[in-house]
């Protein structure tokens, strides 16, 4: 069916079995189906709306290939490979990176990550980022925690997220390379997390574990100088400041900072504001930057620095001069010749807002451009030349495609922008006419069998050109700079000698890193040079003062005021260092497991439920399976598990001994003994006293195990009857002095009645809830899974994980409503700080976790704690009140990049495919050229951090906060209605809103057959179903209805006659 061929079908959804032929002619009369004129109008409206709704095929579809070739062009979103017209890119410095992600894209990508053991991606990262952990943070919407992880190991985490050659580093080691879906977009995730943190506008602070600022040891007052304000120096200075040094100065010869990140990486790959953000974080710790000064400038040398009292110096000046072929000697820019060191800084100054106070124009590049070289810089020159007005760009290099040194990401971008590649050519002669370059002559290169490359003088190629840009690398060629480094020794390549481990030069007090060291080839390697040097500079300085330094490097992490937020909470007289603990389940199978959890930072743990020896159990296998509630997702991130595991197979004596040992070694962590007996007073008395005597801080009475134990008269068999629960609690209250909590089952009609019974029995609180009894699924042959033994038998098991969170939240909030102030230990789908906060808001006091650890490991506690601290801290920042937790307001975007509002330019909205996409590109290109004429100077505003304007809430302050919003249906207001509003700039034209509204809603969305843009009609009832299935976050919003809501009753309400 063509795009304009709309098949009109009868509307059976409106109560008519067929469309009235007379009504189809527009006649106002009763149809042959017996409908009224009003009904028939509804039929016609529905027929129009439903025209593009999916239908069951009754026959095959026939279209000619010629017609389909035309049809595909109309719907095409990617570039047409046969397209001869290149997109106009002049003055367009918008982000072009494929790795850039929106929040939606970041969450989906983070969920894909396996979070592997001994993750090879981390081993492939020069700065050794804890990649799996920061991606775990992102998957849990803890963007601050992710940024903290990143910036702790890499102070230039945002820059590296944008420009790192990840395909050759971390991504190259991703285990998902072994799967069909491919590796994780690690760079994009890193960029996303650090950009969200950047928007939080929170300062870096010194480690709270350092010595007090008013009591700094003398060694930390030592003067330290860093030369050059590039990545290596910024990294080194950041780590030295984190170590506690208070007198650090960076000298930069330019009037801007950032080094090559600023001057040679284009704005469309690395905006200046990203570099400025990282520099400001460094300056938060007191590092000073002096511009206009450097080695060889105004007499500055290593000797003068020493005379000025500097104890240690780091050289990070890069390689400032271009490597130039002899055939270009004497050629100048006005003749059409540039080196990359000339060209890219000119482009940067004209296109990077805030880089310098001047507003210099872009280099005037017209006609054909030849870029010489095959490294990243060459491809940056090529794509930048297009933005300066070049008509065609040829990238010419001496070797073949397999020898291109640039990373695949850069090469692919240049290819997409229609740059041409010419391999196996070496420049021989520049042809100049009228003092302008007109052509370049090349000779053919070949690789001989021995492996070396030769030039064949008999094969000559002449290429016409208007501009030539040489990108053959860089050198340290300034003799004044070299003299200023005296007495440092140089190697045969003309670079300073350096120890690759310590980054120390021949002069013990002088260190260096980055390009000048000859080891770093990328920004991230330069960052790591600075990181490495900082520790050994620290060791050197401390040795001068006779201070000992640990053999194992211990550089402080990244900290902000968020990390100072107190998340401790007191429940039933017990002080919990944080509200996150291990539930009585598989993560607490043994004492060593609890020990490792405490070492990781968990605030409390419940033992696996144990019983008296007479009730000891033996488990079956298999017994723990992945859920099907999230669909065919394999690996971590399971939305649910089902288990038929019983209580602990270990004895009560084992657990009592373990509790004693754990409390001795971890006195500040809370240990709760989980116990279970049948309905027998003597048993409960004996076991509870044993647990109390072992040193347990509290008890949890397991009255809720949904499988296996109930058949023995334990667990569920006791917990479903309020009278039994009340009596058991009374027996335990009589037996022990320590607090205890009754663990409730959700497998009851009214959990509140059970909670009331526990309170009446003397319990100090309850745990809500245990797993939900269920049958997870059956195989195609009718056999269950898990299937035990040769008979393949199963039983109803306990469903856990985020799938049961709605049930658990209901239970917690209902109990909190009924029993205000009664402590609740929540469990059931807590897998992040965000979900934990939901339970706290619902009335929970502390939070028990199990399934999330089954999905990952004990280290998720760091994510939960930093996430909760961030959520509490951000509540106090007035400027971020439009954020949802750690999620900023969604900008209008496509594929994570801001979308210009075309409607503001032409007065109508256009989709982003086919001819409309071409039209959008043309409109934007014309607008960019107009903007080029403007000479507005952009100055970055002075940095002012967001400061809390109101008290940061404690955990106790948020407990039960949501209860005021939860009530009966009768309390809901049916006069304040909403309707859906679709952002057509963000819409990806999938029609999911249209289909669900048609077949599950109110037929209130029209879908344009040409543009595929949906439009909400007046029939919208505000049900919210469209928003629920929309794949783009905030593309659909619910807004207040401006007209009265009049429900469609089908037929008029009967009017009762008044007697």
Active site residues: 705
254-275 burial, b for 16+ CB within 10 Å, e for fewer? bebbbbbbbbbbbbbbbbbbbb
Q: Do β-strands 420-422 and 392-396 pair in parallel, antiparallel, or remain unpaired?
A: parallel
Q: How many angstroms separate the Cα of 790 from the Cα of each of 620, 635, 643, 783, 787?
A: 13, 27, 19, 11, 8
**338 three-class SS:** strand
Cα separation, 851 vs 797, whole angstroms: 15
Handedness of CA 588, 591, 593, 597 (dihedral sign): positive
Burial track 198-212 (b if 16+ CB lie within 10 A, e otherwise) = bbbbbbbbbeeeeee
Do the beta carbons of residue 336 and residue 467 sit within 8 Å?
yes
**Which runs of consecutive H residues, i.e. helices, occur in 52-184?**
65-75, 103-112, 120-123, 131-139, 143-153, 157-163
Q: Report the alpha-carbon distance of residue 765 to residue 414 in Å, rounded.
A: 64
Helix (H, G, I), strand (E, B) or coil at 250: strand
Rounded Cα–Cα distance for residues 778 and 622 (Å): 15
842 touches 964 (CB < 8 A):
no
Cα separation, 561 vs 952, in Å, equals 11
Exposed (0-12), middle (13-18) or buried (19+): which is 356, by Cβ within 10 Å? Answer: middle
- Cα 200 to chain centroid distance, Å, stands at 15
Tokens coding 956: 């106790």
Q: Do residues 418 and 404 touch, judged by C-beta distance below 8 A? A: no
Q: Tell me if residue 114 falls in helix, strand or coil.
A: coil
CA separation for the pair 1056, 1059 (Å, rounded): 9
Cβ atoms 35, 20 nearer than 8 A: yes
Tokens of 237: 């200075």
Separation of alpha carbons 465 and 441, rounded Å? 10
Rounded CA gap, 892 and 896, in Å?
9
Distance CA 1059, CA 1055 (A): 12
Check whether the bond before 769 is cis (ω within 30° of 0): yes
What is the full DSSP assignment across 573-622?
TEEESSSEEE-SSGGGSSHHHHHHHHHHT-SEEEPPPB--GGG-----SS
Which residues is 226 bridged to in the sheet? 250, 314
Alpha carbons 172 and 156: distance in angstroms, whole number:
21
Sort 614 into a burial class: Cβ within 10 Å, 0-12 / 13-18 / 19+. Answer: exposed
Whole-Å CA distances, 414 to 97, 409, 919: 11, 9, 22
CA quadruple 799, 800, 804, 809: dihedral sign: positive
Omega of the bond leading into 786 within 30 degrees of 0 (cis): yes
- Distance, in Å, from the CA atom of 506 to the CA atom of 504, rounded to the nearest integer, reads 7
């Amino acid at each position: 069916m063509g795009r304009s061929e709309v098949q009109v079908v009868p509307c059976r959804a409106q109560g008519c079995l067929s469309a009235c032929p007379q009504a189809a002619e527009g006649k106002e009369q009763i149809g042959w189906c017996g409908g009224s004129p009003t009904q028939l109008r509804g039929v016609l409206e529905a027929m129009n709306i439903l025209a593009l709704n999916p239908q069951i095929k009754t026959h095959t579809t026939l279209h000619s290939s010629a017609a389909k070739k035309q049809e595909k062009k109309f719907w095409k979103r990617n570039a047409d490979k046969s397209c001869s017209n290149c997109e106009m890119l002049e003055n367009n410095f918008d982000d072009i990176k494929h790795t850039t992600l929106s929040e939606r894209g970041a969450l989906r990508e983070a969920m894909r990550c396996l979070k592997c053991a001994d993750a090879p991606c981390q081993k492939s990262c020069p700065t050794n980022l804890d990649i799996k952990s920061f991606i775990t943070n992102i998957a849990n919407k803890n963007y601050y925690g992710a940024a903290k992880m990143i910036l702790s190991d890499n102070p230039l985490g945002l820059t590296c997220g944008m420009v790192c050659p990840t395909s050759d580093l971390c991504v190259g080691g991703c285990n998902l390379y072994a799967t069909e879906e491919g590796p994780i977009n690690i760079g994009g995730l890193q960029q996303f997390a650090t950009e969200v943190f950047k928007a939080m506008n929170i300062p870096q602070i010194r480690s709270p574990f350092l010595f007090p600022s008013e009591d700094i040891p003398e060694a930390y007052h030592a003067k330290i100088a860093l030369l050059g304000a590039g990545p290596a120096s910024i990294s080194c200075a950041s780590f030295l400041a984190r170590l506690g040094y208070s007198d650090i100065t960076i000298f930069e010869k330019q009037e801007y900072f950032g080094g090559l990140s600023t001057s040679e990486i284009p704005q469309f790959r690395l905006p200046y504001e990203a570099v400025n953000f990282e520099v400001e974080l460094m300056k938060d710790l007191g590092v000073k930057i002096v511009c206009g000064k450097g080695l060889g400038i105004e007499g500055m040398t290593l000797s003068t620095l020493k005379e000025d009292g500097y104890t240690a110096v780091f050289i990070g000046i890069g390689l400032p001069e271009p490597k130039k072929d002899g055939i270009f000697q004497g050629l100048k820019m006005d003749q059409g010749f540039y080196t990359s060191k000339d060209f890219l800084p000119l482009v940067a100054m004209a296109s990077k807002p805030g880089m310098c106070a001047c507003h210099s124009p872009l280099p005037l590049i017209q006609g054909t451009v030849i870029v010489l070289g095959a490294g990243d810089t060459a491809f940056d020159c090529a794509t930048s030349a297009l933005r300066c007005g070049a008509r065609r760009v040829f990238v010419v290099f001496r070797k073949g495609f397999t020898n291109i040194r640039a990373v695949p990401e850069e090469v692919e971008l240049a290819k997409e922008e229609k740059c041409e590649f010419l391999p196996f050519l070496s420049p021989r002669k520049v042809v100049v006419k009228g003092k302008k370059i007109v052509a370049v002559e090349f000779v053919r290169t070949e690789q001989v069998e021995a492996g070396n490359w030769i030039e064949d003088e008999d094969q000559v190629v002449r290429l016409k050109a208007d501009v030539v840009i040489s990108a053959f690398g860089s050198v340290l060629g300034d003799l004044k700079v070299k003299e200023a480094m005296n007495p440092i020794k140089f190697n045969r390549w003309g670079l300073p000698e350096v120890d690759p481990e310590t980054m120390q030069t021949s002069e013990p007090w002088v260190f260096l890193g980055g390009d000048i060291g000859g080891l770093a080839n990328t920004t991230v390697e330069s960052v790591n040079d600075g990181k490495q040097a900082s520790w050994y500079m620290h060791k050197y300085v401390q040795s001068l003062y006779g201070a000992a330094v640990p053999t194992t490097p211990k550089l402080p992490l990244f900290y902000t005021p968020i990390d100072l937020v107190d998340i401790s909470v007191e429940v039933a007289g017990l002080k919990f260092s944080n509200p996150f603990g291990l539930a009585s389940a598989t993560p607490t199978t043994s004492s060593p497991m609890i020990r490792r959890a405490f070492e990781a930072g968990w605030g409390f743990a419940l033992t696996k439920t144990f019983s008296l020896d007479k009730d000891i159990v033996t488990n079956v296998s298999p017994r723990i399976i992945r859920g099907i509630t999230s669909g065919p997702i394999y690996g971590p991130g399971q939305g649910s598990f089902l288990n038929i595991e019983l209580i602990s197979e270990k004895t009560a004596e084992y657990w009592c001994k373990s509790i004693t040992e754990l409390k001795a070694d971890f006195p500040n962590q809370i240990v709760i003994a989980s116990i279970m007996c049948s309905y027998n007073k003597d048993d409960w008395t004996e076991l509870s006293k044993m647990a109390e005597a072992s040193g347990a801080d509290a008890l949890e009475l397991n009255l809720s195990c949904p499988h296996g134990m109930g058949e023995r008269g334990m667990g569920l068999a006791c917990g479903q009857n309020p009278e039994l629960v009340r009596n058991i609690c009374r027996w335990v209250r009589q037996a022990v002095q320590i607090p205890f909590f009754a663990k409730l089952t959700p497998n009851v009609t009214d959990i509140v009645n059970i909670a009331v019974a526990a309170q009446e029995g003397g319990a100090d609180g309850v745990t809500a809830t245990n797993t939900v009894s269920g049958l997870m699924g059956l195989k195609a042959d009718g056999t269950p899974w898990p299937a035990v033994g040769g008979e393949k038998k199963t039983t109803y098991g306990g469903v856990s994980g985020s799938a049961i969170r709605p049930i658990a939240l209901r239970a917690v909030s209902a109990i909190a409503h009924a029993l205000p102030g009664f402590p609740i230990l929540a469990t059931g789908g807590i897998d992040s700080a965000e979900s934990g906060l939901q339970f706290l808001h619902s009335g929970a006091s502390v939070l028990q976790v199990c399934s999330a650890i089954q999905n990952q490991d004990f280290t998720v506690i760091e994510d939960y704690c930093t996430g909760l601290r961030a959520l509490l801290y951000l509540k106090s920042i007035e400027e971020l009140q439009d954020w949802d937790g750690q999620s900023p307001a969604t900008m209008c975007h496509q594929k994570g990049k801001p979308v210009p509002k075309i409607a503001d330019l032409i007065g109508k909205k256009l989709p982003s495919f086919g001819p409309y996409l071409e039209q959008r590109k043309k409109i934007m290109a014309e607008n960019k050229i107009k903007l080029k004429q403007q000479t507005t100077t952009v100055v970055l505003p002075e940095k002012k951090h967001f400061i809390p304007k109101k008290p940061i809430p404690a955990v106790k302050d948020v407990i039960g906060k949501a209860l005021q919003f939860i009530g009966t249906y009768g309390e809901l207001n049916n006069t304040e209605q909403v309707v859906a509003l679709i952002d057509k700039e963000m819409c990806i034209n999938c029609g999911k809103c249209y289909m669900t509204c048609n077949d599950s809603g109110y037929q209130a969305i029209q879908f344009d057959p040409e543009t595929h843009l949906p439009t909400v009609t007046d029939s919208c009832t505000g049900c919210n179903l469209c928003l629920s299935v929309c794949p783009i976050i905030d593309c659909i919003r619910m807004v207040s209805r401006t007209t009265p809501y009049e429900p469609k009753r089908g037929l008029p309400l009967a009017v009762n006659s008044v007697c």
